[in-house]
Amino acid sequence: MLKVDRLEAGYGSGKVLFGVNFQVPKGEVTAIIGRNGVGKTTTLKTVMGIVQASSGTVSLDGLDLSRKPAHEVVRAGIGYVPEGRQIFPALTVLENLRVGQRSKPKTWTEERVLDLFPNLQRRIKNAGHALSGGEQQMLAIARALVTDVKVLMLDEPTQGLAPMVVQQIGDVVKLLRSEGVAVLLVEQNLNLTERISDRILVMSKGKVVETLSIADFKADAERVHRQWLTI
Ligand SMILES: Nc1ncnc2c1ncn2[C@@H]1O[C@H](COP(=O)(O)OP(=O)(O)OP(=O)(O)O)[C@@H](O)[C@H]1O
């Protein structure tokens, strides 16, 4: 389980996170929603050690990861797929999967990951730039998995993708949940979020202001929307 406790962080002298608290349990999908600029991406980056926390703690199954560099956070089992996918366009699918790998994955082997993504299997020798947007997103997720993730953090994975591809990404996330992965999802598509999440964290002004089960969220969606999502 990923635990984030009183996390504070920002850029230079500008603070963005003002004490973020939440937990991401194994085998569940936890979604973060909130208006633009409330600190959702910064939260993921701070967990990863890409943005330095000024205070607070991040731990995974009791192991303290606070203020550790990103490569140590990855090695501990946290995978991150940033907004915009960021695969290597000139490398093939297989090269993209292997880039930066220090050792062979134990849990999420290449075979197991490629079984999840038959489209990638078929295009294993194709260059990244020759993939569709949806396939690039699948590749970015696959690449995070082969670091043997326990927690997978996805930042707006369906942005700019066609409805059918959004559906496919949702199905992959549900499958990963059923395989015991803890998923932390930042997503603007509320229909998808409702369909695949177990728990919703609402962020406002650098804090988690509500934590709702999916049933509570659905029952109160109109109020949550009005209070926290409309501008
Ligand atoms: N690299 C940066 N340098 C300085 N300020 C930044 C940087 N990245 C983000 N910010 C600022 O931090 C605040 C939070 O941004 P963040 O991207 O975390 O929000 P968000 O909730 O993910 O928003 P969105 O939904 O628009 O992606 C914003 O005010 C933003 O302008």
CATH of the domain at 205: 3.40.50.300
pLDDT at site 103: 76
Confidence of residue 179 (pLDDT cuts 50, 70, 90): very high
Both tokens of residue 224? 């949550």
pLDDT at site 100: 67
48 CA to centre of ligand 1 in angstroms: 15
Closest by alpha carbon to 113, among 74, 143, 79? Answer: 143
Give helix 133-145 / helix 163-178 axis angle, nearest 10°: 10
Residue of minimum CA distance from atom 4 in ligand 1: 11
Within 8 A by CB and 6+ apart from 16, the residues are 9, 10, 39, 42, 206
Within 8 A by CB and 6+ apart from 120, the residues are 93, 114, 135, 138, 139, 142
Distance CA 18, CA 139 (A): 34
Q: Is 143 in the pocket of ligand 1 (CB under 6 A)?
A: no
Which of the pair, 107 or 156, is modelled with greater confidence? Answer: 156
Over residues 46-77, the pLDDT tens digits come to: 999 999 999 999 999 999 999 899 999 999 99
Q: Is 69 in the pocket of ligand 1 (CB under 6 A)?
A: no
Distance CA 115, CA 32 (A): 29
Q: Enter the ipTM.
A: 0.96
Q: Is 46 in the pocket of ligand 1 (CB under 6 A)?
A: no
160 CA to centre of ligand 1 in angstroms: 19
Q: Is 38 in the pocket of ligand 1 (CB under 6 A)?
A: yes
Distance CA 91, CA 227 (A): 45
Q: Is 16 in the pocket of ligand 1 (CB under 6 A)?
A: yes
Q: What is the pTM of this model?
A: 0.95
DSSP 83-150: TT----TTSBHHHHHHTT--S--SSS-HHHHHHH-HHHHHTTTSBGGGS-HHHHHHHHHHHHHTTT-S
Over residues 129-140, the pLDDT tens digits come to: 999 999 999 999
Q: Is 40 in the pocket of ligand 1 (CB under 6 A)?
A: yes
Residue 228 in contact with residue 210, Cβ under 8 Å? yes
Task: Give the count of domains, the chain.
Answer: 1
Q: Is 37 in the pocket of ligand 1 (CB under 6 A)?
A: yes
92 forms beta bridges with: 127
155 CA to centre of ligand 1 in angstroms: 13
156 CA to centre of ligand 1 in angstroms: 14
Residue type, 187: E
Distance CA 141, CA 173 (A): 10
Over residues 91-130, the pLDDT tens digits come to: 999 999 998 676 777 888 999 999 999 999 999 999 999 9
pLDDT at site 86: 82
Name the residue with tokens 């934590």.
211
Q: Sign of the CA dihedral 172, 174, 180, 181?
A: positive
Domain enclosing residue 211, as ranges? 2-229
Over residues 189-220, the pLDDT tens digits come to: 999 999 999 999 999 999 999 999 999 999 99
DSSP 158-207: TTT--HHHHHHHHHHHHHHHHTT-EEEEE-S-HHHHHHH-SEEEEEETTE
pLDDT at site 25: 96
Residue of minimum CA distance from atom 29 in ligand 1: 37
Q: Is 36 in the pocket of ligand 1 (CB under 6 A)?
A: yes
Residue 34 in contact with residue 202, Cβ under 8 Å? yes
C-alpha of 183 from chain center:
6
